[in-house]
Amino acid sequence: MISLAHKAEGLEVEGVEKRFGDVTALGGISLSIQAGEFFTLLGPSGCGKTTLLRIIAGLELASSGRVMLAGKDISGLPANQRPVNTVFQSYALFPHLTVYENIAFGLRSRRIAQTEVERRVGYGLGMLQLEQFSHRFPHQLSGGQKQRVALARALVNEPQVLLLDEPMSALDAKLRAEVQIQLRRLQQQLGTTFILVTHDQDEAMAVSDRIALMRQGQVEQAGTPSEVYERPKTRFAAEFLGAANLIPAKRAAGGAETRYGTFQLAEVPSWTAGHLAIRPERIGISAHEPAQNGLRSKVREVVYRGSYQEAWLDPGDLRIRFAPHPQLQAGQEIWAVLPKEALVVLSD
């Protein structure tokens, strides 16, 4: 019962479909996002993640299905009546208004008393370290500052859900990594439900409580970052989130049969043929033949990456990643160890 009550506070997407003419952008999506959760819609461009976000925001209407917020159906409400705010990809700051007035915009729309506007905008400026920019116009700000203004402008309205549409795509890589951490801290501090749309899998893993990996208008897999990363269910999931070695395989007694021999598996799902997936960093190396799941290999190529080294092994073109020392040499003969708990069966 407690879990049900908790669920009612969150956001439910129930069988949401969206068609543009004959094109189906979303094919019946159902998701349950808990209150206070940092939830990420991850996927390549055109997978429908932004469309789903816009349907939650009320900027787009679903062709069918509904969106429930805290137990109430909000599908029919226009955007300006939903307790949901958006940080747009382009930030969409009003160019003719100062930072202060941009942040105050939503409060003024709702005719909130001036003293309260001042209090909340002041809080928003402080929360995102924007005090010294309050009288500037958007064109006088850097990309990172604009992004913070967009965040403050949405958050001062105290939305039940904050929607973020690729808010970091305009930032350079270094700043992006910093902002990801800040965003995560901000979300934990406020306890607001955040729904982030991104195509960047590192970003998704860094900030999210849960990720929904989307593909062609469908949710391919949803779960915590480690679930989705370590136990991908499909080939697409395995390859989209980080690097994966895929070995064609079919079911065999006690494991999986591949052209390199039979491998033991920790879990044997019901399957007949497909692929075995293993992350490069999960493959071990050994000078001696291991008890099981060993593969006699020759190092073909080594790339030194500073914090790790990466190598490609023959046969199988296996990619491995491990600590930078001792350095591996091309041409070296080794045993690759594929631990059974790191091998994941993909049925496609």
- Stretch touching another protein by CB under 8 A, among 61-69, 83-91, 120-128, 306-314: 83-91
User: What one-letter code names the amino acid at 198?
Assistant: T
The residue within the footprint of another protein, chosen from 40, 85, 187, 309 (CB under 8 A), is 85
b (16+ CB within 10 A) / e for 268-282: eeeeeebbbbbbbbb
DSSP 62-97: -SEEEEEETTEE-TTS-GGGSSEEEE-TT----TTS
| Shortest spacing between CB 136 and another protein, in angstroms | 16
The residue within the footprint of another protein, chosen from 110, 135, 185, 250 (CB under 8 A), is 110
Nearer to another protein, 90 or 286 (CB): 90
- Stretch touching another protein by CB under 8 A, among 5-13, 90-98, 213-221, 288-296: 90-98
Site pattern 47..66 for another protein (x: CB under 8 A): ----------xxx-------
| Shortest spacing between CB 27 and another protein, in angstroms | 24
Nearer to another protein, 153 or 215 (CB): 153
**Is 92 among the residues that bind another protein (CB under 8 A)?**
yes
* Contacting residues for 238 by C-beta, under 8 A, at least 6 apart: 232, 244, 246, 275, 277, 344, 346
The beta strands (E) that lie in the chain are given as 11-20, 23-33, 38-42, 64-69, 72-73, 84-87, 161-165, 193-198, 210-215, 218-223, 245-252, 255-258, 261-264, 273-278, 284-286, 294-304, 309-314, 318-322, 333-337, 344-346
The residue within the footprint of another protein, chosen from 10, 43, 48, 106 (CB under 8 A), is 106
The residue within the footprint of another protein, chosen from 21, 95, 254, 326 (CB under 8 A), is 95
Distance of CA 185 to the CA centre of its chain: 16
**Is 70 among the residues that bind another protein (CB under 8 A)?**
no
The Cα 167–Cα 149 span in angstroms is 12
Nearer to another protein, 97 or 285 (CB): 97
| Shortest spacing between CB 318 and another protein, in angstroms | 45
- DSSP annotation of 327 reads P
Are 189 and 155 in contact, with CB atoms under 8 Å apart? no
The residue within the footprint of another protein, chosen from 35, 36, 88, 202 (CB under 8 A), is 88
**Is 188 among the residues that bind another protein (CB under 8 A)?**
no
The residue within the footprint of another protein, chosen from 64, 81, 114, 347 (CB under 8 A), is 81
The Cα 177–Cα 248 span in angstroms is 35
The Cα 24–Cα 155 span in angstroms is 32
Per CB under 8 A, which of residues 115..154 are in contact with another protein? 153-154
Nearer to another protein, 82 or 319 (CB): 82
Compute φ and ψ for 151, nearest 5 degrees.
-65, -50
Compute φ and ψ for 69, nearest 5 degrees.
-125, 125
The Cα 41–Cα 30 span in angstroms is 12
- Stretch touching another protein by CB under 8 A, among 19-27, 32-40, 105-113, 220-228: 105-113
Per CB under 8 A, which of residues 153..172 are in contact with another protein? 153-154, 157
Size of the site for another protein (CB under 8 A): 26
- Stretch touching another protein by CB under 8 A, among 87-95, 193-201, 261-269, 294-302: 87-95
| Shortest spacing between CB 333 and another protein, in angstroms | 58
Task: Tell me the CA distances in angstroms from 66 to 17, 75, 170, 323, one per residue in order.
Answer: 9, 5, 32, 49
Q: For residue 288, count other CB atoms closer than 10 A to its CB.
A: 7
Residues that bind another protein (CB under 8 A): 57-59, 78-81, 84-86, 88-90, 92-97, 105-106, 109-110, 153-154, 157
